[in-house]
Amino acid sequence: MDEPLEFRDATPDDAAAVVALVESAYRGEASKAGWTTEADLLHGQRTDPDLVKAIIGSPQSRIILAVDGTTDELLACCQIEQRAAKAAYFGLFAVRPRVQGGGVGKLLLAEAERRARENWCAERMEMTVITQREELLAWYVRRGYVKTGESRPFPYGDERFGLPLRDDLEFSVLVKKFS
């Protein structure tokens, strides 16, 4: 990671840029330049401006942006959400395909965990990952997340989350306990 990285909370003015980043990391041909693509599993959108603005406007959620400190280019984003019982949720994680594998995602994940601990006294972080994304699941496991064995259904029929190309999609639940 050569660029000086800075973190900041997204504002409603950032919604379009967040959507563009998320779409570029997960959908379509451009996403295949990185390793996080879901283009072989899903078509259609991954998120939309209304959903992003709702997350930004929620007092229990934040979208954290990782920007190049020199150019202010948006390189990565994620959502953290305060949950009951000292838990936080991690999602909407996207890294610009051309910088994937360079450490930006690892740094943003660490920043999200730090903020969840410090701002909300979270004792654990939870997330869901499409079960068929074995490489991505392994990446989280290397960062201390544990597969709980719990699965959740994919929202088939809700085009806000994409158009599935297969009928066996589901989410695996992962948790990391903070010490």
Give the total number of structural domains in the chain.
1
pLDDT at position 3, please?
59
Predicted structure pTM score:
0.93
End-to-end CA distance of the chain: 27
Residues 6+ apart with CB under 8 A from 171: 128, 129, 130, 131, 151, 152, 153, 154
Containing structural domain, residue 55: 5-177
Tens of pLDDT along the chain (179 residues)? 565 899 999 999 999 999 999 998 888 777 788 787 888 898 888 899 999 999 999 999 999 999 999 999 999 999 999 998 899 999 999 999 999 999 999 999 999 999 999 999 999 999 999 999 999 999 999 999 999 999 999 999 888 888 999 999 999 999 999 97
pLDDT at 32: 82
Give Cα separations from 126 to 70, 82, 93, 110, 147 (angstroms). 32, 10, 13, 14, 10
The CATH number covering residue 100 comes to 3.40.630.30
